Structures are given as C-alpha cells and as structure tokens.
Amino acid sequence: MERSGFFRAMIDNLHDGAYFVDRDRRIVYWNKSAEELTGYASEEVVGRTCDDEIRMHVDEEGKNLCTDMCPISETLEDGELREAELFLHHKLGHRVPVAIRVAPVRDRKGEITGAVEVFSENSALVTARARIGELERIATLDPLTRLPSRRCIEQELTSRVDELARFGRTFGVVSVRVDGMEKLNGAFGRDVGDDVLRMVGNTLLYNSRPFDVIGRWGGAEYVGTVVGVERDGLIKVAERLRALVGKSILPLEDRTVSVTVSVGAVMAEWGDTVDVLIDRAEQMMHRSRGRGRDRVTIWK
C-alpha cells in the first residue's frame, strides 16, 4: 500500500498528463495534469472507457482514432511502445494538440493487463499561450474570444505585405467563417453562440503553426496569415484547420453542439495590398459557403 501510494503521488506530480486503462480500455486512473490539460476531473473520467467521448483523439485530418487505429488498443494487442502527435478533446469543446506516448502494463508473469498513456502540450500550444500573453500585454485581444483582434490582424498583414515586397517572403491568407451561426443562435441562444465562437477560436489558435497568426475579424469570421508556404502548403494548413474545427464538440447539459467552417484562401503576390488580400480570401470563403459549406476554396 505504501508503494502504491508513493507511485500515485509521483504520477500526480508529473507535469505531463497520464492515465491508465485496463484490458477493456476502462480508465482506472487519471492524474492531476490530465485534469488540467483536458478540463475533465478524475471523477468524471474514471470508470469510463477511453473512447467514451472523453479523449476522442483525432489526427490532423480530423479522423477519429478512438474507433480506428487507436494507439492504446494496438498496444494492448501487441505490447509495443507507441508515440504520436494528435489532437485531444478539451471539455470546453476545442481541440488541443498533444504529443502522446503509450506503453503496456504487465503483471509479474509478463501478461499485458492494461496500458498507460502519457500526453503533453506540444510546441504549437506552448507558442500559442506565449502569444496570448504578449497580446494581453499590448491590449490587442478580441474581448470575446481572447484571440488577436481585427486591428492586430491588420497590423500583421501590413507587416507580411511589406516583407513580401522587400524580401520575397511568401505567405497566404485564410478567411474562416462558422457555418450556420444564425440558426445556432436562434436554437440555443447567444450565450451558447458565444461559447461556440470561443471553441472555434481556441481550436484555430492552438492548432496554428508557431509563426502563423489567426484572429477574430468580426462576427463569426476569423482571418489568419500562413507564412512561408506555396499554394499546396496553404491548402494543407487550411484543410487541417477545417477538419479540426469540425471535430470540436461543445458539451451542454443535455446535448452537444458541433459546427463546421467554410474557408477561403489566397496566396499573396507582389503588389497586393491588405484590402485586396482580404477581399479575395472572403470571396473564396463565400464561394465555399455557396458550394455546400465545410470546405476550402483557394483563389486561382
């Protein structure tokens, strides 16, 4: 018992999140860092299976790995160590990028009795939090979402246009619009609508690349810069953000809410102005909406 208490205290004080499952993938232990990283308290999780709408890991394309190619399930079968970079589900709905490590748990006979997963914030999330702190310091955050404000994005775009003209540094612009916000506000009320805007904003922020900047442009629209890419790279980034927003889930008392986004993208060219880039990105965003929504359209 003393040894068990020692290990429990040690795991509880890990900086990384950690949890144990038995052979049936039922969670038997959930440490304090796991509570902080996911928003789920131990009593909400222990006793439930790891695919029971708690972790809901997805890859960058939005594919649910808890039902297919689950690292824990595979480790329970073959006993191999596994590592991956995935996106977990936070209790507030948004997606959080994490690096995970999975290992088998064996009894004295060497039989697999369960598995342990350790997960930690990856560099994108650490960078995003540092960016939030800096923006708070200079007071350029949108008050609702705590993302960079329109003014901040305009300043970022001005800097990128200048760098393109002077040094030839390529970048793209994305316009992201939440689909169906009017109907959602009518069905659930403005408070839930605001929570959805925060959920989408956090998913975009935490899953942007370290040197990219994305913020709230106004209403249900977000605008971001994607630096150092060509056309194919811009499409890849935009598709990843679209997929991760689609897999974000806001829990309510008796149901859950999820949304999709329509995305427009444009590569900046020499001579473009900020207004031209925004106009083209928004045209493509509206074209995505007109073609059925939940898709990416890039300026040709």
Q: Are residues 238 and 280 in the same domain?
A: yes
* CATH code at position 74: 3.30.450.20
**What is the DSSP code (8-state) at residue 110?**
S
pLDDT tens digits, one per residue of 97-123: 888 889 988 888 889 999 988 888 776
Same domain, 112 and 141: no
Range of the domain at 265: 125-298
d(CA 80, CA 243): 29
Residue 289 and residue 165 share a domain: yes
Same domain, 113 and 130: no
pLDDT (0 to 100) of residue 185: 95
Judged on CB neighbours under 10 Å (0-12, 13-18, 19+), 198 is buried
pLDDT in the model for residue 171: 97
Considering its fold, how many domains does the chain have in total? 2
Residues 176 and 114 in one domain: no
143 and 292 belong to one structural domain: yes
Model confidence over 131-187: pLDDT tens digits?
666 655 555 788 899 899 998 899 999 999 999 998 999 999 999 999 999 999 999
Give exposure, 33-42, as e/b (b: 16+ Cβ within 10 Å). Answer: bbbebbbbee
